[in-house]
Structure 1
Amino acid sequence: MTIIFTNHALEQAELRGTNEVEMTVAIEQGEEIPAKKSRFMRRKNFEFNATWQGKPYQIKQVAPVFVRENEKIVVITVYTFYF
């Protein structure tokens, strides 16, 4: 399936420390979890071992929220969590 990123999703990705590659991997390989409003969310943990906003973290979880439209996946937004 083709993955399309909305401008909002790309803006949020930059603000939250992720990118299109990580979002794509999360969609293709991640665990699906419930989302609101007939949307889907997949989450995947990535090894991080770096600093985010002044604090060190080992893991970054990337969780894109998307809808399926015909033969496309449209990413609406993305969340990131650091552990």
Structure 2
Amino acid sequence: MSVRLPPHAQARLIERGATEAELIATVESGTTFPAQLSRTRFRRNFSFNAEWQRKVYAMKKVEAIAAKEDEDWMMSAVIVNFF
């Protein structure tokens, strides 16, 4: 199984403060939920303890929405929340 990121999703991942390694960890070991259009939503919290946009946050939640294509996951959205 691999995670595929189209260029648009990869750019958004960086803009929103997540790494590709965090995204892969979210897909591999995060909680899964059904999403619209036969997609799957993945969610995982990470310890952060750092600054993001001039504020310090203890945790980061990464959510990804993906469609299964053969044995791969094609990402369509990445959402990052800091708290």
With the length of structure 2 as denominator, give the TM-score of the two structures. Answer: 0.92
1:15 is aligned to 15
Deviations 1:16-66 (A, max 9, x none): 001111000000000012322221111110000011111111000111111
Note the residue ranges of structure 2 that are not aligned, 5 or more in a row.
none
Deviation above 6 Å: which 4+ runs of structure 1? none
- Helix, strand or coil: the match of 2:21? helix
Which amino acid letter does the alignment assign opposite residue 47 of structure 1?
S
Which amino acid letter does the alignment assign opposite residue 6 of structure 2?
T
How many pairs were matched up?
83
- Identity percentage over the alignment? 35
Give me the CA root mean square deviation. Answer: 1.0
Which amino acid letter does the alignment assign opposite residue 55 of structure 1?
K
Report the Cα offset of residue 77 of structure 1.
Answer: 1.8
CA contact (8 A) 1:31 1:43 kept: yes
CA contact (8 A) 1:10 1:19 kept: no
2:45 is aligned to 45
Q: Does 1:24 align with 2:28?
A: no
1:76 is aligned to 76
